[in-house]
Amino acid sequence: MFAATSRRSALAAAAALALLLPGGAAIAAEKGGANAPMFIKLQALNVTVFDRGLTRGKLTIELQLDVIKKASAPAVQSRLPRLYDGFLAAVTEYSNSRTALDRAPDLDYLMERFQLITDEAVGAGVAKVLFHSAVRTL
């Protein structure tokens, strides 16, 4: 009886934690112990692109965080909402700027912004931002 209650409590806690993370962020670590790579896949950033008040398209970016310092993983996880909000603000600002309207997304610029936001939130060298995909539709 105690084991079943304990298991249910653990499952309920895990489900609650998944709801708190942006988009149910997924964490993946391959088998291999302390040296295994740890990635956190974030919910896609979806931003509508406007030009003079008219909808011009949509920009969707999927990111992952490569947690370099594994001991800092809990701190990174606790700051995911702040990171997601910073990434969303940066992509919204970029997508609605005049320089972004008629050309492909400048992924180098966005990568620099995302990495700066990450370094400010969790510390330099703790996690690296990786692009999973970027799509702009008109």
pLDDT tens, residue by residue, 59-107: 999 999 999 999 999 999 999 999 999 999 999 999 888 666 667 888 9
What ranges do the domains of the chain cover?
22-137
Residues in the chain: 138
Cα gap 93→109, rounded to integer Å: 12
Cα dihedral across residues 18, 62, 113, 49: positive or negative: negative
Query: Could you confirm whether domain 22-137 is CATH 3.30.479?
Result: yes
Cα gap 126→31, rounded to integer Å: 21
pTM of this prediction?
0.74
Tell which residue, 99, 78, 87, has the closest CA to residue 130: 87
Cα gap 21→126, rounded to integer Å: 19
pLDDT tens, residue by residue, 4-48: 545 455 444 444 444 344 444 555 555 556 667 899 999 999 999
